[in-house]
Chains A and B, each alone.
Chain A
C-alpha cells in the first residue's frame, strides 16, 4: 500500500515570496491534515479536512496561509507571502476517519527554508 506522498521535499525561497506544497493521501482516507513542525518541536496542526470540507483551521494563519482539497483527495497548502518564521517542515497526514481512535499516517514532509 502506497503511503502519503508529498512534494516538493525541499524548498528554499526568499521572504515575501509565495510557495505551494502538495499532498496525496493514502487511497480511501477521508481525513487529511496539514501540520507545521518547527525544528525541535512536535507537529502543530494547521488544518484538518474531512473529505473536501474543513473541520478545523483554528490555528491556520489565514492572512498568509491557505489550503484546499477540492475533490476530497489531493490537497495543496499555500503560503503567500512567506515570512522568516515560516521556516519549518510541513507534514501532511491522512487517516480513515476523524478522531483520535484513527491512526494518522504521515508523509515525509516538505522542508521549507525562508531566507
Chain B
C-alpha cells in the first residue's frame, strides 16, 4: 500500500534555530517527491520537487534531501523565522499515469520568539 509517514507530528523551535523534518514513503514505482508548506487557513504551496536522480534541492532557507534507496526524505530549515510557522507536507507521486498523489499528514512547525 502506498503510504507517506512524516515525523515529528509537531515541533516548536526558537526563532533563528535550524530544524529538520522527516518523511518516509513506500510509494512504488516512484516518480517524484514534493515538500509543500501550508500556512494556517491557506492552501499548500510547493517548496521543492525531486525526482529519482536528485538527492538535494534548495529553495532559499529550505533544503530538501532524498535517498531513493532507503525511501527517505528530509526538509531542513535554516535560521528559522516566525513566518516559517506552518504545516509541512511531504507528497509523493507514483510513476503510473493518473495515480493520485500520496500525502503525508504533515509536520506542524511553530517558530517562537
Contact = CB atoms under 8 A, between A and B. Distances in A.
A45 interface: yes
Interface in B58-113: 89, 91, 93-95, 97-101, 103-106
Interface stretch (A12-20, A35-43, A63-71, A77-85): A35-43
A42 B103 contact: yes
Interface residues of B, number: 25
B43 A101 contact: no
Chain A interface size band reads 20 to 34
A106 B93 contact: no
Nearest to A106: B43
Nearest to B100: A45
B44 A98 contact: no
Nearest to B93: A100
A48 interface: yes
Interface string A72-115: 00000000000000000001010000111101101111010000
A106 B45 contact: yes
B32 A101 contact: yes
B43 A100 contact: no
B13 interface: no
Contacts of A41: 105-106
A42 B89 contact: yes
Given A100-B31, A101-B32, A106 B98 contact: no
B105 A40 contact: yes
Contacts of B95: 100
Contact of A99 (B44, B97, B103, B106): B97
A58 to B, nearest CB: 9
B49 interface: yes
Contacts of B93: 99-101
B104 A42 contact: yes
A4 interface: yes
12 contacts: A41-B106, A42-B103, A42-B104, A42-B106, A56-B100, A91-B44, A100-B95, A101-B31, A103-B49, A104-B101, A108-B41, A108-B42
